[in-house]
Every structure is written in structure tokens, then in C-alpha cells.
Structure 1
Amino acid sequence: MRVYLAGAVLSCAMISSSPVHAQEVSAPAPVASVLPSAGTALNDPGPLFDDYYIGPYDLLEITVFQVDDLSRTVRVNARGLIGLPLIGQVQAAGLSARVVEEEIARRLTECCLQDPQVTIFIKEFVSQRVTVEGEVTKPGIFPLSGRTSLLQAIALAAGVSEIADINQVSIFRTLADGNKEQLVFDLEAVRSGKVDDPLIQGNDVVVVGSSTTRSMVKGVTDTLRGFIGFGTVR
């Protein structure tokens, strides 16, 4: 037996028996977007796609071209240093591989080599983490096991939620000098290849914004489901 709410039935009857007069409604004026364009950094933070920053306990493969005795695999110690023959300890943590390459080459030039060619390959990423929160399926803190892009970081959190605003995805980053920056991306533009998929750095915080429209639609849908469930008794 089904029992329906009398009020709902009465309302439907009144609507069906009353004439409906259509009214012309003017379209609202377009609203200018106040969000930065995809990939725009707030407060002019500088380049978006810096190399990965080396951290303590990362494993580095250092190659000095045609000088096998100086090429080796070393692990960054707790103080962020690596030890190399002829030049001693070199600061690595908090710097990109490119910067460390240049420093090693400079010191080898001062010491004993002419125009040394130094390359660094990061074999293990141990110290770095990324936090993904906001409108994602499984927010949390995730280890970086290699070079990780924004899309890959969001995938670690099982993707965005149904009310996510993919046009407003922020990366909050602490720079080497202690200053902070916010980078705002349009995820749809990144997915389509219109904007490069940015590289995540250690200790970045990724925040996926919430869409007001999608949130309202979900709220209405949930309310209707509850109403139908309340109005019908089996």
C-alpha cells in the first residue's frame, strides 16, 4: 500500500488546473572572471616549472663525463649534504639537480678539471611528500616516489569529487627563502594539453576548490531523494 502526502497531491492538482503564462526573462549580463588564467602564479612567484628539489636521503647518481673515478651514486645525508672526492661536501637538499650540477662543475673547475660536464639523475625520492585536499575522493598526504605532476598527485587522491571546481585547482608552495606562493590551474586546460601539467615539489599542498553550482545541484538532488523516500511507504 502506498500513502502519498496530501499536500503534494493537492499542489499538483492546483498546478494542473491553473493556466500558466510564460514570461520572458532577460538573460543576465555576463560576469567577468576574477580568477587568474590557467597556470598563473599569484604575486609574481617566478617560473612555474622548476626542477624537483632534492631532499635528505634521496639517492643521486652523479656522472662526470669521461671521468669514471669521480662518477658515483651517493645518498644525501640528514643535513642535506653529499660527499664527493676532490671537492668534499656539497649542499644538495633544497636545491634542484641542475643547481647542484653547476656547483659541482664549478668546484671541479677550481680544483683540477677543465670544463667538466656533470649530470645528476635522482634514483630514489625518499624525503618528499605532497598533501592533496579539498574536493577530492580520498584526501591525504602521499609520498613522492618519482617525478610527479599535478594530474598524478590528484590521481593519488582517487580523483576529484562530484562537486569539484576543476577550473580552480591551487598548488601552495613554500620557497627556499621561506616565502610562500600560490599557483592556480585550470585542470581541464591541463588535461587537454593547452597548459603543461606542472611538476609537484616536495611538501606542496594541492587544494581542489568546490563548485557552488555543483554543490547546489547535489543538495537539491539529495533533498528530492529524501522527499521521495519520505513520501512513499511500502
Structure 2
Amino acid sequence: MMTRPLQNCAALALLGLFSACQSGFHPAVESGSAGYDAIAVPADQSLPTRYALRRGDVVSVEVFQEPELTQTRITIDNGGNLNLPLIGEIQAAGVSAADLGRTIQQAYGRRYLRDPQVTVVVNESQPYTYSVEGQVALPGVYAHAEGMTLLGAIAQARSPTQVARLDQIVVFRTVEGQRIGGVFDLQAIREGSLPDPVIMPGDVIVVGYSQLRGTYRDILQAAPLIGVFRPF
């Protein structure tokens, strides 16, 4: 039977081995001040100034003096389209209500109506969201609020787990079809030594995993099975 000192040494040797094997974090995103620059946005512009229609939005389409063509309540489908009388599918997601109205107006004017007047009004809009993944207590998609910052966003996910790598918090953002991102140190932000970056709708926050902490936790949990620290 292995004595307690030998068991302790064995556990420390395992931890040393895992520590030596732990690889660094080399994301294809910016870190330090470059990370802040990559996703920089003024706090008063944390929500888009021009609302773009999205899947699931409910709109009304009024065609002046054409009650048979007017739709008082119609939902943008999962493909981002509206299906309208006579003209069929019209791409709606990604454009403003005013732009959609002009597109519908042109479609009716080409074949069916002379000088149509079309008004599109948003009746119900889907909430802005962001997502939190990785080492947090409750990963998922959350409603975005104006002025949301990284600390508040992670708090919504019930904070990082015990094995989270607090200096490897990655924020991904898509801007004009390009995916950008930055790496942030949550502990330094908590202490006030680094600024708390603004989170935008659609951002994806990934909280990194500390391999050494995770290994240490796993060893402690498995101690009764492998005999580490077992009294003799």
C-alpha cells in the first residue's frame, strides 16, 4: 500500500506533468490594446441607429387603396422573406422597413399597379441578443440591453466556472460580413485596471478553459478512486 507521503508526491507529479503539457492560447484574434481596438464602439452607439428587419419580426404592409393586397399582420419567415399577394416572395430580413416598402412598391408597380403607395410598419420585433459560451455556469443566448458591457454580459450567464481562464475571454463580432474579435482579461477588468468593453447585439463571448485548474479539480474528484490522499 502506498503511504501518504508517496501518495502526495504522486499527485503533485501528476499536476506537474499536466502543467508542463499545458499549451498556450493562440487565438486568431487580437489581444491587449489591439483587442479593444478590434471591437471598439462608443457606449452611446451600442445599438444600431438603423433597425434592420429580422426573421420572426411581424410587420404590416399597407398598399394604399388596395385592401386585397394589404397585410395587417405578416411574419418574416425563417428564410428572411415575406410572401405577398401577386408578387410572391420578397426578401425582407436585413433591410429597413422603409427600404422594404420601396422594394414592394416597385414590385407591384412593374406589373400590377400604377403608382402604388406602400407603407411597411414593424408591429413586433425580435429582441437583440448576444451569446455566452465556454466556461460559465449557464451558457446560452441572452437579451441585449443598451450599454451592455462584458462584465454585465458574463454576469447574465451566472459568472465563470472555477476552471475558467479569466485572462482568455474572447469576444467575436461580425462587421460587414467579416468576423473580428479580441481577447480580454476579465480579472483585470474587475479590478478596474483595464476598461470594460461594450458588447454589441450579435456578439459571441467565449470564456476559456484552464487546463491545469480542470486537471487539478478532476484529480481531487477522483481521489477516492485512485487512492490519492487516502488515509492509511
TM-score (norm 2): 0.52
2:41 aligned partner: 49
User: Which of these residues, 96, 117, 125, is aligned with residue 81 of structure 1?
Assistant: 96
**Greater relative CO (CA pairs within 8 A, separation 6+):** 2
Three-state SS of the structure 1 residue aligned to 2:32 is coil
2:220 aligned partner: 221
Residue 145 of structure 2 corresponds to residue 130 of structure 1: no
Q: Is the 8 A contact 1:57 1:127 kept in 2?
A: no
1:201 aligned partner: 200
Q: Is the 8 A contact 2:173 2:179 kept in 1?
A: yes
How far apart, CA to CA, are the structure 2 residues paired with 1:214 and 1:166? 12
How far apart, CA to CA, are the structure 2 residues paired with 1:182 and 1:143? 20
Mark the runs of 5 or more structure 2 residues left unpaired by the alignment: 8-19, 55-91, 101-124
Q: Is the 8 A contact 1:126 1:144 kept in 2?
A: no
2:174 aligned partner: 174
Mark the runs of 5 or more structure 1 residues left unpaired by the alignment: 1-6, 16-27, 59-76, 83-88, 92-124
How far apart, CA to CA, are the structure 1 residues paired with 2:194 and 2:5? 54
Higher helix share: 2
Mapping of residues 55-66 of structure 1, within 5 Å: 55-56=51-52
Deviation at 1:196, TM superposition (A): 1.3
CA RMSD of aligned residues (A): 3.9
Deviations 1:171-224 (A, max 9, x none): 01000x211101110001111112211111111000000112211211211121
How far apart, CA to CA, are the structure 1 residues paired with 2:156 and 2:209? 19
Three-state SS of the structure 2 residue aligned to 1:169 is strand
How far apart, CA to CA, are the structure 1 residues paired with 2:218 and 2:94? 51
Name which one, 1 or 2, has greater alpha-carbon Rg.
1
Q: Is the 8 A contact 1:41 1:181 kept in 2?
A: no
1:157 aligned partner: 157
Identity across aligned pairs (percent)? 26
Q: Is the 8 A contact 2:31 2:182 kept in 1?
A: no
How far apart, CA to CA, are the structure 2 residues paired with 1:137 and 1:227? 28
